[in-house]
């Protein structure tokens, strides 16, 4: 079913479908704002600040990923894939 539109081409928010879309968009905006507010602190050059608790956790995960990338198991998997 096509969405009902207003004269200027936007979705008509008075309809049932329009109200549902508006509710989903509001929920998405709220989630995006919450995510942006709780983002990791960055340094002036844009990298993650490793002095913070979150930065240290990120650095530890990245070190673990780098170490597992060059493991024997990974090399064998890359060789045969």
Asked if residues 50 and 42 have their Cβ atoms less than 8 Å apart, the reply is no
In degrees, rounded to 5, the angle at the alpha carbon of residue 47 between the alpha carbons of residues 30 and 57 is 75
* Beta-ladder partners of 11: 5
Checking if the pLDDT of 38 tops 70, the result is no
Checking if the pLDDT of 28 tops 90, the result is yes
Which H or E run includes 79?
Answer: helix 72-80
Does the pTM surpass 0.75? The reply is no
Checking if the pLDDT of 35 tops 90, the result is no
Average pLDDT across the chain, whole number: 88
Checking if the pLDDT of 56 tops 90, the result is yes
State the DSSP code for 8. T
Q: How far apart are CA 2 and CA 20, in angstroms?
A: 14
Interval 57-74 mean pLDDT: 90
Checking if the pLDDT of 29 tops 90, the result is yes
């Amino acid at each position: 079913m096509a969405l009902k539109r207003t004269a200027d081409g936007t979705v008509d928010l008075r309809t049932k479908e329009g109200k549902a879309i508006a509710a989903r968009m509001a929920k998405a905006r709220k989630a995006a704002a919450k995510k942006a507010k709780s983002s990791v602190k960055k340094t002036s050059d844009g990298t993650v600040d490793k002095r913070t608790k979150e930065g240290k956790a990120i650095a530890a995960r990245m070190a673990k990923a780098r170490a597992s990338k060059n493991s024997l198991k990974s090399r064998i998997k890359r060789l045969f894939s």
